[in-house]
Amino acid sequence: MKKLLIVLALTFIVPAFATTGRADTIILKAGHTLTPDHPYHLGLVYLADLLKERTNGEVLLQPQPNSMLGNEQELIEYMQMGSVEAAITSTGPLGGFTDAFLVFDLPFIFPDAATARRILDGPIGQKILESVENIDIIGITFFENGFRQITNSVRPILNPEDVKGLKIRTMQNKIHMATFSAIGAVPIPMPFGELYSAMKQGTIDGEENPIPLIYSSKFYEVQQYCSLTGHFYSPTPLFVSKTAWNKLTDEQKSIFRTAAAEARDYQRGLIDKQTAEYVDQLKEKGMRVDQVDKAVWLQAMEPVYDLFESQGGATALREVQRAIANHPAEPAAD
């Protein structure tokens, strides 16, 4: 009888433990829209390595580039449903889900990257990250895309007047669209995945994105001119779906948050490096790159601030402006 019990135990209990062991491995697919050589992806790979090591292989983050899991709007929806576990997305489509991030979409809201990072990592950014729990997403930290520059295939753009009548693709974001309307462009919102072919086919004249992205997505193949307007800073939050997050133990959550902050710093460092290095590379690829007088651009885009305030953004704007003013900028990192 005893023997039989031992045999039974070995037959049923041991495999049960083995199965539990496997089930404890949590796989988090992390989607984004850019190429595998962009800092989004490299930052996620860095995070994946840290997580694997620190959780003894129990939490496996799997970065998925090139809109493979969906465009940014879809990634947000899929995280809400729990069918995608994690993503980095720009704030572009977030405006369709929550007003919380819209203040960061204003033109020239941040004077430089160091200030942007300080505000995003400080109480204002953290409160905004926490707010998305209402829409079933956990905001972890802010990666970044960088300062956005205008490219086009029609003419050099030096002053805001130069964009008049040009069809400029924007992200699907009402602040961004209003900004380009304010300077007389025709904003054409579309997901990132459709952008390259729209430029190639000439259905749009131009677009705006940061230098590292313009380079990694090879926009120099279809755009001749680049203007260093730096009009929007593009923060890109790292999100985890609430469903996936709740599968982590408290210890794993804390490891995730610490590792994500380290990956964020690494990722921002890559953006700094590539922003500094890739302007020359774009010139080598045949693009004409122009400096602009940013003060003139800011003035032309000012009506967007009035619009934002009149649509309920006044308090958020004051809060961010006060935080920027209260701490003098550190040496610029952009």
Would you tell me which residues interact with ligand EAX (CB under 6 A)?
Answer: 33-34, 72, 90, 92, 145, 171, 192, 209, 213, 234, 236
Cβ distance to ligand EAX smaller for residue 74 or 162: 74
**Taking the complex as a whole, how short is the minimal distance between the CB of residue 234 and ligand EAX, in angstroms?**
6
DSSP, res 104:
G
For residue 79, give the amino acid letter.
M
Cβ distance to ligand EAX smaller for residue 85 or 207: 207
**Taking the complex as a whole, how short is the minimal distance between the CB of residue 312 and ligand EAX, in angstroms?**
25
Cβ distance to ligand EAX smaller for residue 110 or 192: 192
**Taking the complex as a whole, how short is the minimal distance between the CB of residue 204 and ligand EAX, in angstroms?**
12
DSSP H helical ranges for 111-183:
113-121, 123-131, 174-182
**Taking the complex as a whole, how short is the minimal distance between the CB of residue 325 and ligand EAX, in angstroms?**
28
**Taking the complex as a whole, how short is the minimal distance between the CB of residue 236 and ligand EAX, in angstroms?**
5
Query: H/E element holding 186?
Result: strand 186-189
Chain-centre distance for alpha carbon 267: 11
Residue 327's SS3 state is coil
Cβ distance to ligand EAX smaller for residue 80 or 151: 151
DSSP, res 9:
I
Cβ distance to ligand EAX smaller for residue 55 or 236: 236
Query: H/E element holding 237?
Result: strand 233-241
d(CA 190, CA 258): 34
DSSP, res 329:
P
Paired sense of beta strands 186-189 and 167-170, if any: parallel
Cβ distance to ligand EAX smaller for residue 78 or 192: 192
**Taking the complex as a whole, how short is the minimal distance between the CB of residue 48 and ligand EAX, in angstroms?**
19
Cβ distance to ligand EAX smaller for residue 248 or 270: 270
Angle at 74 between CA 214 and CA 217, to 5 degrees: 15
Q: Would you state the torsion angle of the CA atoms of residues 333, 232, 318, 304, taken in this order, to the nearest 10 degrees?
A: 160
**Taking the complex as a whole, how short is the minimal distance between the CB of residue 29 and ligand EAX, in angstroms?**
17
DSSP, res 193:
G
